[in-house]
Structure 1
Amino acid sequence: MPAPRKHPDELRERAVREVRTTGRPITHVAKNLGIHKEALRGWVRQAEADAGERDDRLTTAEREELRQLRRKKTELRRANEIPKAASAFFLRRNCAPRGAMLIERWWKTTSVGPS
Structure 2
Amino acid sequence: MPKQFPPKIRDRAVRMTVDRLSEYPSVYAACKALAPKLGVGPESLRRWVVQAQIDAGEKTGPSSDELEEIKRLRAEVRDLKESNEILKQASIFFARELDLAAADLSVHRRNARCWLCGRVDLRRPAGAGRAGRRTNLPGVEKAPAGPAHHRRRTHYGRAPRLESP
TM range (shorter): 0.7 to 0.9
Consecutive unaligned residues in structure 2, runs of 5 or more: 24-29, 105-126, 128-133, 138-165
Is 1:89 the counterpart of 2:93 in the alignment? Answer: yes
Counterparts of 1:18 and 1:87, CA distance in 2: 59
Counterparts of 1:6 and 1:87, CA distance in 2: 44
> Higher relative CO (CA 8 A, sep ≥ 6), structure 1 or 2?
1
What percent identity do the matched residue pairs reach?
36
Q: TM-score, normalised by structure 1?
A: 0.72
The one-letter code matched in structure 2 to 1:104 is N
Consecutive unaligned residues in structure 1, runs of 5 or more: 106-115
Counterparts of 1:58 and 1:95, CA distance in 2: 51
Q: Which moved more, 1:65-74 or 1:25-34?
A: 25-34
The one-letter code matched in structure 2 to 1:78 is E
Which of these two proteins has the greater Rg computed from alpha carbons?
A: 2
The one-letter code matched in structure 2 to 1:42 is R
Structure number with higher helix proportion: 1
Q: TM-score, normalised by structure 2?
A: 0.53
Q: Which moved more, 1:31-40 or 1:3-12?
A: 3-12
For residue 69 of structure 2, the aligned residue among 60, 65, 69 is 65
For residue 44 of structure 2, the aligned residue among 39, 51, 62 is 39
Give 4+ residue runs of structure 1 displaced > 6 Å after superposition. none
